[in-house]
Amino acid sequence: MRVLLLGGTTEASQMAALLAGAGIDAIYSYAGRTKAPAAQPLPTRVGGFGGVVGLARYLSAAKITHVIDATHPFAAGMSTNAFEVCRDAGIALIRLEREPWAAGPGDRWTLVPRIEDIPTALPDTPARVFLAIGKQQIGLFATKPQHHYLLRLVDVPDAPLPLPDTTILLARGPFTTQGDTAVMQKHAITHVVAKNAGGTAARAKLDAARALGLPVIMANRPSLPGDITAKDGDDVMAWLHHGADRGV
């Protein structure tokens, strides 16, 4: 057995620890989006594979027998490529898929189908928006330049931001409700923007928004191909040991 773990998430780090602890021959793969990714207890490679063709070549050359897709639920490109290549090459694939978040009493969520729909769901009058959705989709908010945006990012942006009124907060999760409540109060936030990632690492901003009575604009997840999924690392380990070869 030789495993490729597609990572970039807190859950992938937990999975890496389980694989390393079990002595399983595995490689952790980062996309290379952050400048100093978290160290892993597994051999690590960094960077895109070069689409489906590159991934197919990589899996064959590295003699990978099992792929664990532990990428972020919004990383649809990588998940789709992994699904197509593994299906065609007959390589066992499982997606580590955390439960989406669900609104509870006291939450003021507006759900929108896609990230692209978030800016129009923001008000037209100037607001103070907490934008903790990573750097890739910041440009979408250029259509609402009247707002002040608090951007929480892992690295200092390489290029000028497409938004005129921003504050940048450099931080890496996991975050706490107490910490996020303090951040929102300090910056007088009126609206919180989120992607329905699920999991615990980025949950704090939703609990903080609830505590402060703030509205949250939340994008639903993209749908992904493939129906072999696991809810946590233990499920994946059981699949590796018992289910993978039977395709369950």
Q: Which residue has the tokens 């439960």?
A: 99
At 89, list the tokens: 């090459």
Nearer to ligand NAP, 8 or 215 (CB): 8
At 180, list the tokens: 């996020």
CB of 168 to ligand NAP, least distance (A): 17
- How far is it, in rounded angstroms, from Cα 123 to Cα 191? 9
Q: Name residues contacting ligand NAP, limited to 107-136 (CB under 6 A).
A: 134, 136
74 binds ligand NAP (CB under 6 A): yes
9 binds ligand NAP (CB under 6 A): yes
76 binds ligand NAP (CB under 6 A): yes
Angle subtended at Cα 42 by Cα 234 and Cα 248, rounded to the nearest 5 degrees: 35
49 binds ligand NAP (CB under 6 A): yes
Cis bond before residue 162 (omega within 30° of 0): no
At 13, list the tokens: 């780090």
Nearer to ligand NAP, 76 or 161 (CB): 76
CB of 221 to ligand NAP, least distance (A): 10
- How far is it, in rounded angstroms, from Cα 149 to Cα 131? 6
CB of 125 to ligand NAP, least distance (A): 28
CB of 195 to ligand NAP, least distance (A): 6
Measured from the Cβ of residue 170, the count of other Cβ atoms closer than 10 Å reads 10
* Residues paired with 148 in a beta bridge: 128
Contacting residues toward ligand NAP, per CB under 6 A: 6-9, 29-31, 33, 48-51, 54-55, 71-72, 74-78, 81, 134, 136, 195
